[in-house]
Amino acid sequence: MPIPAWVEAFKRPVKLGLSVAVMAAAVSLFLPNFYRSEARVLPVESKGMGGNLGNLAAAAAAFGVSVPGGEGSDANFVDILNSRTLRERLLKTEFSFKVRSWRFGGEHEERQTLEQYLEEKNLDRTIKKLAEVLAVSRDLKSKVITISAETKSADLSQQIVRRWLQLLEGFVQEKGRTRGSAKASFSEARLEDSRKEMNQVEDDFRRFLDANRNFALSTDPSVRLRGMRLEAELKLRQQLVTSLALSREQALMEEKNDIPIVNVLDAGNLPIEKSRPTRSVLVLGLFFATTIGSVAWAKRDQLVSVLRVS
């Protein structure tokens, strides 16, 4: 039975496509596997009654990030994660992980910083290459922030993600404590000044009373007026000291309790399945691309004539 002409036309391109696909499959076996670990966090909340926006805004302000209109705290969260300061700290962290030297090699233990793992000439190039390892995204509806790391070691990917979360939490809490401590220090200093002023007014009033014990019954209007002024001033100073003492206690409570918390939804999984390369997609893609390209080349004269007519 004769072979149809269309089969003969496709026979050679299919063989070529299969040959390329087989070679691609063989080469892909030697490509290293990459593993991605992910963690998800919710926007920052506060343990106290002060709310989370002020604390997060104070933390973001350290990098020159503004909080317009009191909204978008999760967006500032992403800015902090992407900051160079946090990334440099991450690069200086030493990790202990298992990795394969080549595709079919056995796993061996490595202990090195992330900067050493990336093997770049200087810090600027290392920061740029780190962007290929780290990723952070934000869901606009749920405001959940997803961070991920992808390396040739499943252990390393997980450790990077968890360390990144630790650095984030430490930075935000450090700024929250600094803010609370500043408020407490200001309240303490203002209370001390007010107490000195109150003591001064008490001394003035005491000296006045020594000379004018019954000033309220005095026939001299100026004596009565001065006594009333000193008495009112003393009461005002006493009320101010009481108010500042309450403010200081509130500031001390905020310093301890109004520290933001990073709500970690997923702490970073240990990946089992590789994230890339997708060898089957690579092989099939090359097969179809080679086959179609070979057919187009074989029928180029007919294609050119069709294109000219059209």
For 126-167, the pLDDT digits (tens) are 999 999 999 998 888 888 889 999 998 899 999 999 999 988
- Would residue 70 be called left, alpha or beta, if left means φ above 0 and alpha means ψ between -120 and 50 degrees? left
Residue 138 region by backbone torsions, left for phi larger than 0, else alpha for psi between -120 and 50, else beta: beta
CA nearest to 33, candidates 129, 98, 90, 110: 98
Sheet holding 35-46, edge to edge: 134-138, 145-151, 35-46, 260-266
| Residue 297 φ then ψ, to 5° | -70, -40
Phi-psi region of 103 (alpha: psi -120 to 50; beta: other; left: phi over 0): alpha
Which residue type does 165 have?
Answer: L
> Contact 205/230 with Cβ under 8 angstroms?
yes
CA distance to 7, 254, 272, 288, 306, per residue, from 281 (Å)? 26, 56, 20, 11, 32
Q: Which residues contact 187 (CB under 8 A, 6 or more apart)?
A: 244, 247, 248, 251
Put simply, whether the predicted model's pTM sits higher than 0.85 gets the answer no
pLDDT at 149: 93
Distances in whole angstroms, Cα of residue 208 to Cα of each of 199, 224, 234: 14, 11, 13
In tens, the pLDDT along 183-237 reads 777 778 888 888 888 899 899 888 888 888 888 777 788 888 888 888 899 899 8
Residue 199, C-beta contacts closer than 8 angstroms, at least 6 positions apart: none
The most confident of the ranges 115-129, 215-229, 248-262, 272-286 is 115-129
What is the b/e burial string over 215-229, where b = at least 16 CB atoms within 10 angstroms of the residue's CB? beeeeeeebeebbee
H runs (alpha helix) in 84-153: 84-91, 114-118, 123-133
In terms of average pLDDT, the best of 70-84, 99-113, 185-199 is 185-199
Q: Rg of the chain's alpha carbons, rounded to an integer?
A: 36
Give the pLDDT score at 64: 45
Rounded Cα distance, 138 and 263, in Å: 15
Axis crossing angle, helix 300-309 with helix 279-298, rounded to the nearest 10: 70
All structural domains of the chain with their residue ranges: 35-180+260-279, 183-257
Contact partners, residue 237, CB within 8 Å, separation at least 6: 194, 197, 198, 201
Q: Which residues pair with 136 in a beta bridge?
A: 147
pLDDT level of residue 72 (50, 70, 90 thresholds): very low
Least confident range of 26-30, 109-113, 253-257, 305-309: 253-257
Listed in sequence order, the residues at least 6 apart from 87 whose beta carbon sits closer than 8 Å to its beta carbon are: 127, 130, 134
E-state strands within 219-290: 260-266
* DSSP element (H, E) containing 76: helix 73-81
CATH architecture for segment(s) 35-180+260-279: 2-Layer Sandwich (3.30)
